[in-house]
Structure 1
Amino acid sequence: MNYEDFLGEIQHRLELSSQGEAARATRAVLTTLGERLDAGEASDLAAPLPMEIDRYLTAAESGQQFSYDEFVDRVADRANVEESEAAFYAQAVVSLVSELATGGEMADVQAQLPDEFGDLFELAEAQSVPW
């Protein structure tokens, strides 16, 4: 999947009016996820993503310890949306990333996060993506 297709899919899933908004949502979610994951895990997850998007995961200061509520707050601040929208943005972006991730990569990501992050994977699990 290329950059334009990725953003188009995010735009569609989030019902956004432009690809610019989709890019902002994607950047907000993946930068925040990159901050929470260990550097190696962020790089592994970034590998199958378009070059313009993978850097969001890897450019952040990785390995930070914060709660799911803080994760959603950071996404909301970066995307300039309310927390409820930010939580949905995160689920939609992670769902699409899970479709592109190889093998058990999403299982590795999920295993690295505390149980309270379970909501982040809700849409991906609903689509029965085999990890």
Structure 2
Amino acid sequence: MEYDEFVLLVAQRADVPEQQAAALTRATMMTLAERITAGQATDLAEYLPAELAPPLMPPVDLGQSFDTDEFVRRVCGRADTDETVARRGVAAVCMTLREAVPADEFQDTLDQLPSGFPAL
């Protein structure tokens, strides 16, 4: 999947303009990088457009533990948006990730996220 297609799908699913979808995608990837292990981030990045790899690949293995609400708060701050739009954006990015990467890689990522995360 190409970057433009990824962002367009996020925009459609989150019902936001493409520019805002790009910001939500970047913010979600950065926050995801803080939550999953560096190894899983590397595995995901292998299947994603090159433009999505940098925010997903932190310089150190962070693997922090925080809940879904904190995930959304971090995306809010990074994308400079409200919680409702951030939740829709995170959900849209996750739906698009599910299509862009192999099912086992997506499941490995979900396994590292808080239990309420798929409910987004």
**Alpha-carbon offset, residue 38 of structure 1:** 0.5
Task: Give unpaired runs (5+ residues) of structure 1.
Answer: 121-131
The 5 A counterparts of 1:70-109 are 70-109=70-109
SS of 2:95's equivalent? helix
Normalised TM-score (structure 2): 0.88
2:17 is aligned with 1:38: no
d(CA) in 2 for partners of 1:116, 1:9: 23
Consecutive unaligned residues of structure 2, counting only runs of 5 or more, are none
Figure out how many residues of one structure are paired with residues of the other and give that number.
119
Separation in 2, partners of 1:59, 1:28: 13
Q: Which has the higher contact order (CA 8 A, sep 6+)?
A: 2
Percent identical residues = 39
Contact 2:8 2:21 in 1 (8 A): yes
Give distance in 2, aligned partners of 1:88 and 1:60.
Answer: 28
In 1, the alpha carbon distance for the partners of 2:76 and 2:40 equals: 23
2: CA distance, partners of 1:60 / 1:113: 20
Shift >3 Å, 4+ stretches: none
Compute the TM-score of the two structures, normalised by the length of structure 1: 0.82
Paired residue type of 1:48: Y
Cα distance, 1:34 vs. partner? 1.0
Q: Write the deviation string for residues 47-76 of structure 1: whole angstroms up to 9, x where unpaired.
A: 111001122211365311211111010011
Q: Equivalents in 2 of 1:13, 1:107: separation in Å?
A: 21
How big is each residue's C-alpha offset from its partner over 1:91-111, in whole Å with a ceiling of 9 and x where there is no partner? 110110110111411111111
Distance 1:67 1:116 in 2: 8
The root-mean-square deviation of aligned C-alpha atoms, in Å, is 1.6
